[in-house]
Structure 1
Amino acid sequence: MELDKDSLQFIFGSTIRALHKATALAFENGGLELSPEQFHLLKIISSKEDSIQTELAEILQLDKSGIMRHIDQMEAKGFVQRINDANDRRKKYIVLTELGSSKLDECKAILDKMSDSILKGISDAELLIFKQVLSKLKENAER
């Protein structure tokens, strides 16, 4: 079977892999100890007051064990910590530490520079249309 390099699925898949690889490399070259997935996890944790593992898994569409691995790694580095719920000992909140907040800021600065590079030659109007089309594709796929 011949590979259809013009198919939407191939273009999306290869683009996502290229962006993921570029992000991981930019983080590594910037001296950060985070994967792109961990960056997204930190971003979500920083935006929510009460983050629990189950909610994080749902938001990122990962299984609970995958989220737990990321949280364990980030906790070992001091980027997040687990806080026990006062009423339910089984429930633990994941909160961003000061170091985690600092790492998040560093990631954002690296991604801002990277955005300038990857969006080169793309107008604001084209980017807006692209985002609208992606939203429609996602909406249709979830039906």
Structure 2
Amino acid sequence: MDKKALFLKCVSFTTAVHRVTHELTQNAKADSITPVQYNILEYITVSQPVSPSEISDCQHISLPNTSRELKKLEEKNLIKKFTDTEDRRKQYISLTKDGEKMMNEAFATIESRFLNRIENTSEEDLENINLALEILKEKLFY
């Protein structure tokens, strides 16, 4: 297999993923938060509990900017911070009930758009997509 060609397909694929993600999530967030705050909440939703440094790394935001955005989200009662019981220096972030409600509403909108995209997809193709996603997750996006 030509690994250079595989790499170029991967670049094309990840670009398409970003485009489709944008289409699926466009206007799905609440008006009370910024796009950066939404991205942080989305990451917390699928990975909680997370540390501020994990958020910073994953979202490509400096730690001071991450801390500032987390403070704003905490003031809006969308996240809560707690200290690791074994290492008091470590802090973790998770969603509050209000944060979970907000993200459930956003994800419901995104799910509806996703289901519209795949509504005419055959059962066999859905199974192949599911298998492809499992392989990608296991081999590339681990």
TM-score range, shorter chain: 0.5 to 0.7
* RMSD between superposed Cα atoms in Å: 3.7
In structure 1, the residue matched to 2:26 is 25
TM-score (norm 2): 0.65
Which residue in the other structure is 1:8 paired with? 9
Unaligned runs of 5+ in 2: none
Q: Work out whether residues 80 and 100 of structure 1, in 8 Å CA contact, stay in contact via their aligned partners in 2.
A: yes
| Structure 1 unmatched runs, 5+ | 46-50
Residue 38, structure 1, aligned to residue 41, structure 2: yes
SS at match of 1:82: strand
Q: 1:132 to 1:107 in 2, by over 3 A?
A: same
1:79-109 Cα deviation digits (max 9, x unpaired): 1011234554312232321210111221221
Please report how far the alpha carbon of residue 17 of structure 1 lies from its aligned counterpart in structure 2 after TM superposition: 1.6
Identity of aligned residues (%): 17
State the partner residue of 1:123: 122
Task: Report the TM-score, using the length of structure 1 for normalisation.
Answer: 0.65
> Are the counterparts in 1 of residues 77 and 96 from structure 2 also a CA contact under 8 Å?
yes
Q: 1:76 to 1:65 in 2, by over 3 A?
A: farther
Name 1:48's counterpart in structure 2: none
> Alpha carbons of 1:16 and 1:109: their partners in 2 closer, same or farther (altered >3 Å)?
same
SS in 2 for 1:83: strand
CA distance in 1, matches of 2:140, 2:46: 25
The residue type paired with residue 43 of structure 2 is: H
Greater length-normalized contact order (CA 8 Å, ≥ 6 residues apart): 2
